[in-house]
Amino acid sequence: MSKQVAGIVLAAGDSSRFGSPKQLLPWRETTVLNSVVQTAIETDLAPVVVVLGANAEQIEPGLPEGCIVVINTSWSEGQSSSIRIGLAQVPEEIDGVLILLGDQPQVNPYFCESIVRRGLESGKITIPYVNDRRANPVFFPKLTLEKLGQVAGDQGGRAIFSEFRVELFPWLDDCMAMDIDTPEDYEKLKACYDSE
């Protein structure tokens, strides 16, 4: 990629529905969160900012080298607080940001690169669209970042979708849209990839 795109990995939640820090769940040879961070690094996103909150003292020591870790002490205020803290680490000359969720270890560099490439070409917010539903990660071009940093509450990026041009990027792999909220979700996601 000739243009510079940052990655922000949102991983500040307390996993209340799961019952234990899902960021630390085993995934392949590593953990759920480390798999997401490694994907961001392999996608050539720079910088890769990991936003931690609840359970940060347990999670931070095991994170891969090559990422910037920031702690969101206001994580209970919702996703927007993590996005703001992540954006504060992003340099001015950036061309866009890819926001990844820390509980989607199945998301791979090819998927991320495809979203980023489409977003850079179109100049639009680019949202993967899997099996009739919006998915993640989402690309935000530079012109949207100021507004993105003003979002409040537990809304995240979707709060600004109506204010900018948005492109839905179709993808055929249903498993790519899954995330982990409950132990059942974790088992379903593992089952998707056990045969690989």
pLDDT score for 193: 83
Distance CA 62, CA 59 (A): 6
Instruction: Count the domains in the chain.
Output: 1
Q: How far apart are CA 173 and CA 104, in angstroms?
A: 14
Kindly list the distances between the CA atom of residue 47 and the CA atoms of 42, 63, 105, 131, 174, in Å, as whole numbers in the listed order.
12, 15, 19, 31, 29
Q: Look up the domain containing 188 and give its range.
A: 5-193
Would the pTM count as exceeding 0.85?
yes
In the prediction, which pLDDT does 50 show?
A: 98
Quote the tokens at residue 12: 């500040």
Query: How far apart, in whole angstroms, are the C-alpha atoms of residue 25 and residue 103?
Result: 9
CATH number of 146's domain:
3.90.550.10
- Whole-number pLDDT of residue 131: 84
What does the pLDDT profile of the chain (196 residues) look like in tens digits? 468 999 999 999 888 888 888 999 999 999 999 999 999 999 999 999 999 999 999 999 999 999 999 999 999 888 999 999 999 999 999 999 999 999 999 999 999 999 999 999 999 999 999 888 889 999 999 999 999 999 988 888 989 999 999 999 999 888 888 889 899 999 999 998 875 4
pLDDT score of 133 = 86
